[in-house]
Structure 1
């Protein structure tokens, strides 16, 4: 029985028997045999029979989030255009001015000008409300502040117990009598009370803003923070009647004045602090409160290669982009609680 040749086999035999010199230049056309094997199908048929590959998504595919952020898909493995930021190399340390004696260091934060202002307004209030001969010397005011600091370092909660013979602190007892301490605390003032109502129309923190502003500036200029700075909120316990008193159920002390704080990671030093006074009219329209707070707190420390750590309240892509433009990176907590590095 004669075996039928496939198209490929016939082509090979034909080409082996043909002399190239006898060719008249015409093309040889071979029609595929209908009984040939599937492997003899044309290339078009082979292409059609193969499964179609799923098209790879390109970089032009974008999706817009609810907040207006435009997300686009990037090919895995390609490097995005990014200029590395040189990290801040020095550790946190006090300035040369703040490395002197303990008294000189204290005066770096609460200066003599600030003490004189407090003395003036305290004496004024006492003379107007109690008697005209009431007076408090500057060393006595400094001793009063020293006792306040010592009270914060001791575990005695009651003011009366601080002067107790059994529970009291000998340094506090030897510095000032308890009655005098309470007398100064009752009259302690940080501004001119007669002009406060006018200043409060534009400044909700008018009762202390002058002294407070000087204190914050001194905190910034007296210490050079290290590479890592953390930003968070702090509720100062208080039940004072004011328009910016906060209630936070998750805090141990549920009522108080809320502060936005930036601290050096290693030393826990307060680098910058802002009180939360409600809606800020100076905040740019459309800017999120969290972004505005972080940028204001970090302003003195930008453009140096530092990193700021925040929780999910502050973390956002737009904040990371703003910080990156000022040579600052961010380590933020996402909504799931996992840390996210945005560079």
Structure 2
């Protein structure tokens, strides 16, 4: 029996191209290998094989579906208790502040400030008389109180808070701390040891000078208060125009220059549950994973089942 080689055209008909009943040769058009020549194929309209059997209708993917405009997903069960972890009704504002600035914070401030001052004295002896008068926890509390008061009463320069003229006199700041002592503490204020060994295999941490402070203070935000069910991630800008590698410029923000921070807040009260400063590594650290990192809290996770 003679062999017949055929191909399938776009209408699904088998047309012989070799053998006794072969069709007349097709005229070529153009130059090149195989141009204008019918190619033998299997089933399929695109010439690549496979395809849908003849007579079968295309599938209707919308069958069994209906459109709705009022769909709401089922609520996730919330089993947590919202509110403070203790009764703070009789607390003064200073006592509330101490819930977040614990004794470990004040000890860190005093220890690292004295350490850096001593390191500076060894490198440049005789510059300051710090060794005979190191700072302590009570003095650091007075120093932070002055900084908070300066944020309320703004003056162009530090020394003007201790001015003695009738127009600029302010009795609060001189009663807390002398001007020279304040400037000396401000000069040596530190939160980490500059000579501490760094781990070369660890990824670069741009907040290494603040990491110990953040490790102490940030957990207090979600240990002192249990947030409710509705949480809202947000970003904010901390105004800053100094020399810093991760300063951001956002021309459409009210604060155009500064450090960008992400926070997870309770929607109804605005309470900040956790906060993270954005320190990008060029080309490797997008902003979006920071939001996912904010949700990795045991206090929040244990309230959902």
TM superposition score normalised by structure 2 = 0.62
Deviation of 1:281 (Å): 11
Aligned counterpart, 2:193: 192
Number of the residue aligned with 2:35 = none
Q: Would the aligned equivalents of 1:246 and 1:255 in 2 still touch at CA under 8 Å?
A: yes
Q: 1:176: how far off?
A: 1.7
Mapped pair 1:172 → 2:162: no
2:244 alignment partner, SS class: coil
Q: Output the CA distance in 1 between the equivalents of 2:219 and 2:101.
A: 11
Which residue does the alignment assign to 1:232?
234
- Name the TM-score, length of structure 1 as normaliser: 0.56
In the alignment, which residue of structure 1 is the partner of 2:136? 137
Instruction: Quote how far apart the aligned CAs of 1:273 are.
Output: 0.4
Does the CA-based 8 Å contact 1:98-1:108 persist in structure 2?
no
Give the CA deviation at 1:186: 1.2
| Equivalent residue number for residue 181 of structure 1 | 182
**Cα distance, 1:120 vs. partner?**
1.2
Unaligned residue ranges in structure 2 (runs of 5+): 1-58, 122-127
Deviations 1:30-70 (A, max 9, x none): xxxxxxxxxxxxxxxxxxxxxxxxxxx96x25xxxxxxxxx
Is 1:112 equivalent to 2:83 in the alignment? no
Judged with a 3 Å threshold, the aligned counterparts in structure 2 of structure 1 residues 226 and 178 are, in CA distance, closer, same or farther, namely farther
**Is the helix fraction higher in 1 or 2?**
1
- Deviation of 1:135 after TM superposition, in Å, equals 0.8
Could you tell me how far 1:171 is from its partner in structure 2? Answer: 3.5
Give 1:289 deviation, angstroms: 3.9
* Aligned match of 1:208: 210
CA offsets per residue over residues 53-89 of structure 1, 9 Å max, x none? Answer: xxxx96x25xxxxxxxxxx994024997953334678
Q: Which residue of 1 aligns with 2:84?
A: 94
Are 1:75 and 2:74 matched, yes or no? no
> Which residue of 1 is the match for residue 9 of structure 2?
none
Residues 297, 180 of structure 1: alpha-carbon distance in 2 compared, 3 angstrom cutoff: same
CA contact (8 A) 1:125 1:189 kept: yes
Q: 1:96 to 1:85 in 2, by over 3 A?
A: same
Give the whole-Å Cα distance in 1 for the aligned partners of 2:218 and 2:233. 16
SS at match of 2:196: helix
Corresponding residue number in structure 1 for 2:158: 159
1:146 aligns with 2:145: yes
Count, aligned residues: 234
TM-superposed CA distance for 1:187, in Å, is: 0.6
Match of 1:294 in 2: 291
Q: What is the CA distance between 1:278 and its match in structure 2? A: 0.8
Is residue 104–residue 216 contact of structure 2 (8 Å, CA) maintained in 1? Answer: no
**CA RMSD across the alignment:** 3.8
The question of whether the paired residues in 2 share the 8 Å contact of 1:196 and 1:206 is answered with no
CA deviation profile, 1:279-298 (whole Å, cap 9, x unmatched): 49998xxxx742x2223223
After superposition, give the CA deviation of every residue in 1:91-147 in whole Å (9 maximum; x if it has no partner). Answer: 5x3331766454443332122122212211111111222444351121000111112
Instruction: Please give the alpha-carbon distance, in whole angstroms, between the structure 2 residues aligned to 1:264 and 1:272.
Output: 10
Deviation at 1:157, TM superposition (A): 5.7
Deviation of residue 170 (structure 1)? 4.4
Check conservation: 1:109, 1:218, Cα contact below 8 A. yes
How many Å apart are 1:225 and its aligned residue?
A: 2.3
| Structure 1 unaligned regions, length at least 5 | 1-56, 62-71, 306-325, 328-343
